[in-house]
């Protein structure tokens, strides 16, 4: 398949009008009010690189498959990086999750809800509202050259995510090697100080790592039949049918359940994609550190992934640990290294970056500086504004307990966090007092989010190419 790259260059004029060049097409985008404010001098001249590895399970870090480490580069950072072992996403869909990371706002506050085609909820929007400041708009006001390599159609410019970037290059087909190549290409043209955001899609469905990495992981198992191999290597149809069955859209899946060998083969391809991503993330970080040692790196994921955990596949449909927990590393300039065990969330990334750069905290941020905060409640929400997906979950973690509410079936589940990593022991019935306390935290959290809303919301139309990429990723039929 031919890889196509579309450079998007945003130039902010004195009148606050952004001119966006997308390939050979030209579109006009309004800049935010934050970008129109007078430029402020940075407190420190530290460069910033944000690396997001899509659908990257936290429990894959440090693991070995077929005698081969899955994450040798991330493993190598242990002595010099700050590693947050109990980091969670604020949503298990890409668009709401990344909005929370980029804005330090909870889902109920920014109101970006998953629903690529249908809007049924008056409080849900499919695009980032222009009134909301982001990490790129904030850093731009401090004189940063802002650059991005974007490979997820959920975050393409028409949905508001290019705002604040001088360069926002998009590709619906770039693999990890190409993302790193593009990022280094833009970095070599950047001026100091720079902010670079690179988004890697390889661990996401359809799990198509290069052959070398398949061989490295021992794919395919000898016990895998030819019939199941065909399903595994064209997994999207099986995946979609399984998700539709689990959400009550169809009475049964048209596919026979995969055998243990078939399930293991899917996981092998995923792990091969993890290793491929780790190798090229490592190449990006090492190259930049060599020439720009005064660089702060943040390496994380937007969410994890189900592989038959609690019978689910994929992401977005639950708030179980396999898709809620994410890796989170801070590396480089000013970072106090070590392993941090307290629970943090993606809304904490932006305040933490500001703290490391010596920048003042913006008044609207809802996250905390992960290096300064004590244990605090952390929250997540996953909901689809498309009623077909039948998804509406909330979660809070506080004082070693995790409460998960499924608003669709009215159930509540209580787990010990993080000790019960597989969430195999539901304590809800034996500890109603804790359930009640955590329910009240969620109620208060929702009220605070309603009060914190500042956006009028935005609905955006996506072009045919973007919609096709989302179909290939399993977001829609």
155: tokens are: 């975050």
Contact residues for 129 (Cβ-Cβ < 8 A; gap 6+): 110, 111, 160, 455, 456, 457, 458
Among 9-13, 28-32, 189-193, top mean pLDDT goes to 189-193
Asked whether 204 and 274 are in contact (CB, 8 A), the reply is no
pLDDT band at 45 (very low <50, low <70, confident <90, very high): low
pLDDT higher than threshold 90 for residue 76: yes
What pLDDT, on the 0 to 100 scale, is given for residue 32?
Answer: 37
For the segment 297-341, what is each residue's pLDDT rounded down to a tens digit? Answer: 999 999 999 999 999 999 999 999 999 999 999 999 899 999 999
Residue 126 has pLDDT above 50, yes or no: yes
Report whether pLDDT(37) > 80. no
**Backbone dihedral angles phi then psi of residue 67, each to the nearest 5 degrees:** 80, 10
The residues near 311 (Cβ < 8 Å, ≥ 6 apart) are 246
What residues contact residue 303 under an 8 Å CB cut-off, 6+ apart?
55, 89, 91, 92, 93, 94, 97, 315, 316, 323, 324, 326
Q: Which residues pair with 168 in a beta bridge?
A: 148
When pLDDT is cut at 50, 70 and 90, the band that residue 474 belongs to is: low
Helix 176-189 and helix 260-291, axial crossing angle in degrees, nearest 10: 20
Judge whether residue 5 has pLDDT over 50: no
pLDDT over threshold 80, residue 18 = no
Indicate the pLDDT class of residue 458, thresholds 50, 70 and 90.
low
CA distance 184 to 198: 10
How does DSSP assign 404-417, residue by residue?
EEETTTTEEEEEET
Mean pLDDT of the chain: 87
pLDDT at 473: 56
Please state the separation of Cα 425 from the chain's center in Å: 28
Residue 65's pLDDT is: 97
Distances in Å between the Cα of 419 and the Cα atoms of 87, 258, 394, 400 are 14, 30, 20, 8
């Amino acid at each position: 398949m031919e890889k196509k790259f579309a450079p998007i260059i945003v130039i902010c004029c004195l009148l606050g009008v952004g001119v966006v060049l997308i390939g050979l097409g030209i579109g006009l985008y309004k800049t935010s009010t934050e970008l129109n404010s007078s430029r402020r001098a940075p407190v420190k001249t530290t460069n910033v690189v944000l690396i997001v590895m899509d659908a990257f399970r936290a429990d894959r870090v440090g693991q070995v498959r077929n005698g081969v480490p899955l994450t040798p580069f991330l493993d190598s950072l242990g002595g010099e990086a700050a590693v947050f072992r109990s980091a969670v996403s604020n949503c298990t869909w890409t668009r709401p999750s990344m909005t929370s990371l980029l804005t330090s706002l909870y889902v109920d506050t920014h109101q970006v809800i998953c629903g690529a085609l249908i809007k049924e909820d008056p409080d849900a929007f499919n695009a980032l509202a222009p009134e909301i400041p982001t990490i790129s708009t904030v850093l731009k006001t401090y004189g940063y050259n802002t650059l991005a390599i974007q490979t997820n159609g959920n975050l393409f410019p028409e949905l508001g995510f290019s705002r604040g970037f001088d360069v926002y290059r998009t590709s619906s087909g770039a693999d990890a090697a190409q993302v790193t190549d593009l990022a280094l290409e833009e970095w070599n043209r950047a001026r100091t100080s720079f902010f670079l955001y690179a988004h890697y899609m390889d661990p996401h469905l359809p799990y198509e790592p290069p052959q070398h990495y398949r061989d490295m992981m021992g794919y395919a198992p000898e016990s895998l039949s030819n019939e199941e191999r065909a399903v595994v290597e064209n997994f999207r149809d099986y995946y979609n049918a399984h998700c539709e069955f689990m959400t009550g859209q169809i009475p049964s899946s048209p596919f026979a359940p995969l055998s243990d060998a078939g399930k293991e083969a899917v996981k092998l391809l995923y792990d091969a994609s993890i290793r491929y991503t780790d190798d090229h993330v490592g190449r990006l970080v090492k190259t930049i550190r060599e020439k720009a040692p005064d660089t702060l790196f943040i390496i994380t994921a937007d969410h994890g992934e189900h592989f038959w955990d609690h019978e689910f596949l994929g992401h977005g449909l639950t708030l179980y640990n396999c898709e809620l927990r994410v890796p989170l590393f801070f590396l480089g300039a000013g970072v106090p290294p070590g392993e941090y065990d307290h629970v943090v969330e993606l809304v904490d990334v932006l305040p933490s970056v500001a703290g490391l750069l010596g920048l003042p905290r913006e008044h609207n941020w809802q996250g905390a500086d992960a290096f300064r905060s004590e244990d605090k409640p952390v929250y997540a929400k996953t909901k689809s504004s498309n009623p077909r997906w039948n998804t509406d979950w909330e979660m809070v973690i506080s004082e070693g307990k995790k409460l998960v509410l499924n608003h669709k079936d009215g159930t509540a589940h209580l787990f010990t966090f993080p000790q019960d990593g597989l969430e195999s022991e539901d304590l809800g019935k034996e500890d109603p007092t804790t359930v009640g306390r955590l329910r009240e935290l969620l109620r208060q959290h929702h009220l605070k989010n309603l009060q914190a809303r500042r956006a009028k919301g935005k609905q955006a139309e996506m072009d045919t190419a973007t919609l096709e990429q989302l179909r290939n990723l399993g977001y829609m039929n």
